[in-house]
Structure 1
Amino acid sequence: MAVVAVRGVHKAISYAFCPSLVKFLPTTIGEFLRTSAEKHGQKPACISAYQDTVKTFEEIHRESRLLAAGFLATGLKPGDRIGIWGPNSYEWYLTMMAASAAGLVLVNVNPAYQASELEFCINKVGVKALVSAEQYKSQDYYSMVARIAPELEECLPGEIKAEKIPSLKSLMMISDKELPGTFRLKHLMDVGEEPKYQTHLDECADRVQFNDPCNIQFTSGTTGKPKAATLSHFNIVNNAYFVGRRIGYDQRPPVICLPVPLYHCFGCVMGALAGLIHGGTVVLPSPGFDPQAALQAVHSHRCNSIYGTPTMFVDMLHVNDFDSYDLKCLETGAMAGSPCPEPLVRQVIEEMHMKRFSIFFGMTETSPCSFQTFPEDSVEVRSTTVGKPTDHVECLVVDDNEEVVNQGDTGEIWIRGYCNFLGYWGDEEKTKEILTPAGWLKTGDLGILDDKGYLRVVGRKKDLIIRGGENIYPKEIEEFLHTHPDIAEVQVVGVPDPRMGEELCAWVRLKDKRTVLPEEIHAYCRGKISHFKIPKYILIKDKFPMTVTGKVQKYAIKSMTISELGLQQ
């Protein structure tokens, strides 16, 4: 921790830095996959338990080259954006590796997104090709694409010309069906075997630099529309590397049970990529989170690490036949997404045998991890802090005037280091709002640094809601609900929930003489916005609490809702 003179008295300021003698990895994901294949050969790298699929490092390297060459054969070029839309699967993992090998920028699309949300993502970053699952739960992905691109059914594969999404040229399906206007992923891999496309792949791969963009993830924003956070190979390769080192993967290669979504940084960087870089095995238990499938994967594949949000761990611990699973192989893991209460920390250590698990803190814009606890940290530390900065990362805590506060005081958390993202795609103004000229990233979170450099997160500067690890901004939900013909005004707040951490509550004021039931509003939401964005509670109100200047008092709405619904804080 730094010390600075203030008015003649030496006071410790809220600054922390984790210097490291461990060098950065100046490499691309594709290059690392090649060297990993040479080093680890026939060792399993990815197991998709529900697909009964086991792939070695060599197989993934070979198949990713075939798919990468197939992508380029459709006319894609390094730097083009290729989307991936679907639940966890081996094909998702393979697409990530293949896109990086070809120098493409992978755009992660939430599998819960509806057609309008997909349309926004495609247009925001100019997605040229989309790899899509056939379906997931109630989602029929092909039909949803056809809804925004009705021209699809009359187009040849690779020649989509859609008025609403003009950038999209190719739809590539993870399917055995011959769907109109689409390529099949298997067909692209067959094409990629041709020597001319393999040669072209090598030429393209040679031009890819480690500081090139390789991944775009959409983050919620106060404007109501997601922002496209752009990350480089250097960002995420090194984040996966240093996160893995602190958790101990460099000492013992992990077998990671990964029930968290791959479309999120938690899954694709801290899980899949960390496993690859440290010579470990990643186990995908199910397409979406299923607590029983996660426990079964640990039991069957002898995983020594498992990832999840606090909500996921709560669900796993409450599986009816929990005691029937042998979890003694577990040693460590990762918990992130929302605060972890002390009773849960103790349960995870005692009942799941994860004595060395880590708490993580960060955001997509920091690739994602910027703080992490150590395996030897106490229960108290892991339940009250998010650890210290990760290797090579600095932290400041500042007040509303952007001046550094004294140690122990509350302020906004700022981060600086290799992990800071390249910026928001196509949005220089929003990028400047979050990145200072000196390279500090404003997280919007409030925290306190102690004298040892541990950070306690105490709140959020803006009104972000975290529901079961999903980041949701009320503004987006409010704007959508305003499209209902009978709603005059709406305010959305987060309220406490014992399982999800927070749930959404919407206060709704109807237009004069209109009558709408809460269940009718729920029905209006279904199929139009993601399921996790639909408010659990909808309260019809005649008026909202206001300040004397006419501003809505959201804190009062939250307090009144907690009281009215009898919720426990």
Structure 2
Amino acid sequence: MASTISTRLLASVTVAARTLRRLSLASRLHFQQLPSPPPERLSYACGPTDIPLMGGTIGQLLDVAVAKNPDREAFVFRFGGGRDGSEPQRRTMAEFRAEVDQLARGFLSLGLNPGDRLGIWGPNSREWVTTQFAAAKAGLVLVNINPAYRPHELEYCVNRVGIRALVSAPNFKTSDYYAMLCELCPELPKSRVGGLSSSVMPSLSHVVMMGQEERPGAFLYDEVCRAGSADPNTEKQLHKLAERLQMDDVINIQFTSGTTGSPKGAALTHHNILNNAYFVGMRCEFHKHVARICVQVPFYHCFGMGLGNLQIVLHGATCIYPSPSFEPAATLSTVEAEKCTALYGTPTMFIDILSQPDVSKRNLRSLQTGIIAGSPCPVEVMRRIVSELHMDRVTIAYGTTENSPVTFQGMPDDSLKKRTASVGRPSAHMEVKIADPEGRALPIGQRGEICIRGYAVMRGYFNDTEKTSEVIGEDRWYRTGDIGFLDADGYGHIRGRIRDMVIRGGENIYPVEIENFLHGHPAIADAQIVGVPDERMGEELCVVVRLRPGMSLTEAELKAYCKDEIAHFKIPRYVLFRDEYPMTVTGKVQKFKLREDVIKELGLEKAAAIEIA
């Protein structure tokens, strides 16, 4: 840009550049030999620490990346360009930074201030990734909202963290986002643009709609970009912010059901997500070549926005996006056309890709590595990923949103057995222990709760000290709620969840939320949700319903009641009806026993046996 960068900002960028050079040099030796686990027999391990953590912010790292490789391709969206939206959209590093800065200035021109929460609602798009980086530069806290959410779920998110401005896609598939906003805020179409006063969501004052169609009460995305260019004061503001923003500032809130209760907003900092993505990229060997990463996972999750998008500035990678949401045919075409070297996905996504009729005819030999995460990967699926997709050095990763997200990751040289039987070794700088209910480390090989400590642990649940204290103690150990063990080689093994959270195709689903919704049906006396094993999705939802006396309800009627009221992935696949549940002597439903009974009734014993093994 033509303007002069202040001396302090230039010094900060220089320090960040030196840090990256030092990390790059150290990496040449670092991954030749990982240190052996400590000799103690307790289940405690720490990831390698010889490469230091980096300081700095997302904005600073973007400036560094542009200074090093201004003409390198930053990203390719294989959709959304041209009049019909079918042309690829490509940006160099310099072009990307220019658009980010313009949008960041536009946000400032709206009167948004550092620390304000900026929601984003919609599928993967160029506007989404630009908003992510622009929010970071403007000091705003980006709040990711699942594009499958319905109105009452959006209302919960906005009010829970006090979202002041919302950037939204106009529509996607069957979701009309503007219509849902108007349903919640009938004041919107009658409001002055930027002056929304909603009785339902009182914190929300600005709505920004992507696309070209003007909608009453809302800014156009391009209009906000132009506003930044038109106001010269915003350029000065942006430079001052670059000096003020700190690596420990909260930059992102992601909603997660965690291990207990309703969805909570995990507050993550620059330091959390930048370092986590950096070291994940190191294990994928992105430092050894210019990676071309096919990112088919959603941006609203850490997998997409953190482990994916941030590789642009951390490892100089080119991120390539095949479609707004997962489409296996589009992914295969993208990998082939763009010569992608890495592919991200959940096991369910890879199963669907491998099921494409023409997968064997595709030229996919550019692929080398990638990340599989979200749920356990069956051995046979991993074999096919390696043999048919040529991903010889693919890695398995495990983590939680609260940990930015990766805490365990496999090594590229791990055997197939290691890759599928375990979740790898602790990530760099991450402490791991397997603990008993009192928090004491258990012996190697003994099952207990997986606990994590280190730089990646979230600041806490936003404005919720009570829920934060339930999972993070004064000793800063984060209790995941997952059961597992460490083996003698320091590899982690997951064996289940302490509580009832269900992971369906990589989506974390908490049964209580759905049960509460179903209790609103006049025919339902009680509804209990359990997860049952599924070969493709990892787990599926089953609801066991007790009806009110004299009332009737069919499976089809229950699913129709859920449609358009809760997100599609929360609608149970299986519906069973019972007169009673297995209960404890104190009157609580024994969900573990209910799950066992349901698995037998549905004939899923074989899948359950594979899951346990």
Query: Please, what TM-score do these two structures have when normalized by structure 1?
Result: 0.97
Q: Given the alignment, which residue of 214, 223, 238 partners 1:187?
A: 223
Deviation at 1:485, TM superposition (A): 1.4
Count of matched residue pairs: 562
Q: Does 1:161 align with 2:190?
A: no
- The aligned runs of 1:281-296 (5 Å cut-off) are 281-296=318-333
CA offsets 1:222-271 (integer angstroms, 9 cap, x no match): 65421000000000010111110111011112111011001000111111
- The aligned runs of 1:91-170 (5 Å cut-off) are 91-170=127-206
Q: Does 1:389 align with 2:426?
A: yes
Match of 2:518 in 1: 481
Match of 2:51 in 1: 22
Match of 2:598 in 1: 561
Q: What CA distance in whole angstroms lies between the structure 1 residues aligned with 2:271 and 2:180?
A: 34
Look up the SS of the partner of 2:305 in the other structure: helix
Q: Given the alignment, which residue of 449, 463, 487 partners 2:500?
A: 463
Q: Does 1:259 align with 2:288?
A: no
Q: Does 1:70 align with 2:106?
A: yes
Look up the SS of the partner of 2:434 in the other structure: strand
Q: Given the alignment, which residue of 524, 527, 542 partners 2:564?
A: 527
Deviation at 1:323, TM superposition (A): 2.0
Q: Given the alignment, which residue of 86, 89, 94 partners 2:125?
A: 89
Aligned partners of 1:41 and 1:56 also within 8 Å: yes
Q: Does 1:42 align with 2:71?
A: yes
Aligned partners of 1:223 and 1:476 also within 8 Å: no
Look up the SS of the partner of 1:54 in the other structure: strand
Match of 1:314 in 2: 351
Match of 2:83 in 1: none
- The aligned runs of 1:73-472 (5 Å cut-off) are 73-194=109-230, 195-221=232-258, 224-472=261-509
Match of 2:28 in 1: none
Q: Structure 1 residues 320, 177: closer, same or farther in 2, change over 3 A?
A: same
Letter in 1 for 2:110: T
Q: Which moved more, 1:304-313 or 1:536-545?
A: 536-545
Look up the SS of the partner of 1:355 in the other structure: coil
Aligned partners of 2:533 and 2:540 also within 8 Å: yes
Aligned partners of 1:222 and 1:476 also within 8 Å: no
% identical aligned pairs: 47
Deviation at 1:121, TM superposition (A): 0.4
Q: What CA distance in whole angstroms lies between the structure 1 residues aligned with 2:199 and 2:307?
A: 38
Q: Structure 1 residues 14, 221: closer, same or farther in 2, change over 3 A?
A: closer
RMSD: 1.1
Aligned partners of 2:259 and 2:481 also within 8 Å: no
CA offsets 1:114-140 (integer angstroms, 9 cap, x no match): 000000100111100000000011000
Deviation at 1:543, TM superposition (A): 1.2
Where in structure 1 are there 5+ consecutive unaligned residues? 5-11
Where in structure 2 are there 5+ consecutive unaligned residues? 1-36, 81-87, 608-613
Q: What CA distance in whole angstroms lies between the structure 1 residues aligned with 2:152 and 2:517?
A: 11
Match of 1:8 in 2: none
Look up the SS of the partner of 2:286 in the other structure: coil
Q: Does 1:501 align with 2:568?
A: no
CA offsets 1:382-416 (integer angstroms, 9 cap, x no match): 00001111111110101122211111100001001
Q: What CA distance in whole angstroms lies between the structure 1 residues aligned with 2:223 and 2:522?
A: 46
Aligned partners of 2:260 and 2:499 also within 8 Å: no
Letter in 1 for 2:71: Q
Deviation at 1:373, TM superposition (A): 0.5
CA offsets 1:193-229 (integer angstroms, 9 cap, x no match): 1322222222223211111000000001565421000
Q: What CA distance in whole angstroms lies between the structure 1 residues aligned with 2:260 and 2:356?
A: 39
Deviation at 1:449, TM superposition (A): 0.3
Q: What CA distance in whole angstroms lies between the structure 2 residues aligned with 1:299 and 1:204?
A: 41
